[in-house]
Amino acid sequence: MKGQRLLRVANTSMGVTLGLFCSAAFLAWGMEGAFGLMTTAILHLAQIVLAGLFKLSYVFRLIAQNQLGQRLR
């Protein structure tokens, strides 16, 4: 059960971080004229942080799959 819960949490966090990354990218690159320089800089920084969190979620997904005996992909 522990592996199944970890897999569910990892999949959810991958989806959430991907959605937040796409939103931050759209705001930082597509709507940069609507925000001040500080806000735009924070959005760019958020992209870096969210990409790292997405990768961390993927590592947890691999750990969960390994615990469950599933094929790693």
Task: Return per-residue pLDDT of the chain as tens, 73 residues.
Answer: 798 999 999 999 999 999 999 999 999 999 988 999 999 999 999 999 999 999 999 999 999 999 999 988 7
What's the count of helices (H) and strands (E) in the chain, helices before strands? 2, 0
Q: Report whether 28 contacts 49 (CB < 8 A).
A: no
Short-list 29, 21, 73, 11, CA closest to 51: 21
pTM for the model: 0.88
Q: Report whether 64 contacts 3 (CB < 8 A).
A: yes
CA 57/CA 62 separation, integer angstroms:
9
